[in-house]
Amino acid sequence: MSKESETTRKLISYFDIVVDGKFEENLKDVTLKFKGSSNQRTIEVQKTLKENRIVLHEFEEV
| pLDDT for res 59 | 80
Phi-psi region of 50 (alpha: psi -120 to 50; beta: other; left: phi over 0): alpha
Return the CA Rg of the chain.
13
Rounded to whole angstroms, how far apart are CA atoms 25 and 40?
A: 12
Q: How confident is the model at residue 30 (pLDDT cuts 50, 70, 90)?
A: very high
Model confidence at 3, in pLDDT bands (50, 70, 90)? low
Domain boundaries in the chain?
Answer: 6-51
Alpha helices in 1-62 (DSSP H): 6-12, 45-51
Decide if pLDDT at 60 tops 90: no
Read off the pLDDT of each residue in 24-28 and give the average, rounded to a whole number.
97
26 vs 28: CA distance, rounded Å: 6
Reported confidence tier of residue 5, pLDDT bands at 50, 70, 90: confident
